[in-house]
């Protein structure tokens, strides 16, 4: 038995026909995602493998999860680059640490410069989060 959801035209006053179709399509997609998420939550709780029983609480939780999932923003490419650079530079600085080699002036300068970049990318990455 199909479930039909209706929205009154008075609530969409000023919407063009394509906009109303877009609302309908977005609503159908959201409902499908909520159903899939509720099924996922139920299967995680149904450890015995018995008959599936999705409760109202599971549907509410699935709805909240999907609403938050829709609003998540993606990090720009440069933030991802900063995160990778932070890890790589920190690792290089760690491998470079050698108390004997640090006696050499050029090696010490390279070490300090790389450490400065590592700290800088760490701070920039933290600020951008």
Please, what is the average pLDDT of the chain?
A: 87
Q: Tens of pLDDT along 111-124?
A: 999 999 999 999 99
Average pLDDT of span 68-77: 72
* pLDDT at res. 75: 78
Residue spans per domain, the chain: 9-70, 77-128
Rounded Cα gap, residues 129 and 108, in angstroms: 32
């Amino acid at each position: 038995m199909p479930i039909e959801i209706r929205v009154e035209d008075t609530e969409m006053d000023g919407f063009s026909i394509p906009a109303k179709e877009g609302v309908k399509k977005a609503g159908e997609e959201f409902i499908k995602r909520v159903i899939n998420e509720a099924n996922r939550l139920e299967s995680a709780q149904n450890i015995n493998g018995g008959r599936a029983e999705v409760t109202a609480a599971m549907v509410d939780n699935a709805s909240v999860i999907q609403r938050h999932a829709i609003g998540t923003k993606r990090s720009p490419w440069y933030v991802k680059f900063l995160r990778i650079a932070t890890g790589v530079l920190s690792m290089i600085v760690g491998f470079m640490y050698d108390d004997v080699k640090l006696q050499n002036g050029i090696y010490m300068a390279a070490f300090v410069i790389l450490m400065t970049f590592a700290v800088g990318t760490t701070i920039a990455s933290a600020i951008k989060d």
